[in-house]
Amino acid sequence: MRVKEIEKGVTRSYPNNKMPVESRRLPENQAEYVNDVLARITHNITVLSPVERTIYTTTWMLIARVSAPIVTRNLNYKADVLQAALDHLIAQNLVWYDPELRAVLQCPPFSALHTPHEVKTFGWERAYTTSIVNAPLALLIYGPNTWMSVHTVCPRSGEELHFRVLLDDRGVLRIDAPADADTWRIWIPAEIETMMALGPHSRPINAFHTQADLDIDRQYHPDTPGVSYTLEQAMYFSECLLNAYQVALTPHLRSV
């Protein structure tokens, strides 16, 4: 295994909620796409009312802790307040709510349903994330200076892919990955709506053992275009996402 530093993360505020993205650390022509994703997520969170944001943050953390559907009646809010908040969270694509179960099944980065993407830190139960790119966001809950194991499975070859990530107290994201991680490829949908989609019909962002595995998979799914990222490029995307969530949520995470 070898450890790489993902360059220092940014934890301060930016004008217009926009963060700088370094195009050299992403696939060609992806900087604008990543900036648009960050802007979408930041907007979706910042338009929430204080009560809505508290319900969102509580749900986010509960899924991380119990890895089970969050039954809304257990959130201890008046029915009308809770329903209005849920309606807005659903509209902002921040949760996947099942009306039959009356429960939240996904609240990115976490999923109450099993996915191919698992995270585990010492002292915590295993949790599932909605995508491999979202996995490092769990460090916002687990804290800095903690190595978190990330496990996923190539949907084409069945190879298990393992690596670790850590956010140190300087805001530096590190990855500890095996030597063959240079051959891994992470597929990111070209459409932001597809990339952020929740629910039973969403196509997750997957990690492939090799570019050949990804190419074969694309032959079977040609209708949804996307871009191939290396692990390092995908983790830089993750770092940008982590910073966006941190700016929007840190005061609320501390108070929950």
The overall average pLDDT reported for the chain is 85
Does the pLDDT value for residue 242 go beyond 70?
Answer: yes
The DSSP letter of residue 113 is: S
Give dist(CA 233, CA 185) in Å, integer. Answer: 10
Give dist(CA 201, CA 88) in Å, integer. Answer: 21
Residue 94: what pLDDT?
93
pLDDT 10s digits, 60-116: 888 888 878 998 877 888 888 999 999 999 999 999 999 888 899 999 989 998 889
Domain assignments of the chain as residue spans, ordered by start = 2-255
Question: How, if at all, do strands 173-177 and 148-153 pair?
Answer: unpaired
Residue 211: what pLDDT?
95
State the pLDDT confidence band at 251, using cuts at 50, 70 and 90. low
Does the pLDDT value for residue 237 go beyond 70?
Answer: yes
Q: What is the pTM of this model?
A: 0.87
pLDDT 10s digits, 176-227: 999 999 999 999 999 998 888 888 766 678 899 999 999 999 998 888 889 9
CATH architecture of 2-255: 2-Layer Sandwich (3.30)
* Contacting residues for 252 by C-beta, under 8 A, at least 6 apart: 53, 54, 57
Residue 119 DSSP SS3: strand
With 0-12 / 13-18 / 19 or more C-beta atoms within 10 angstroms meaning exposed / middle / buried, residue 63 is buried
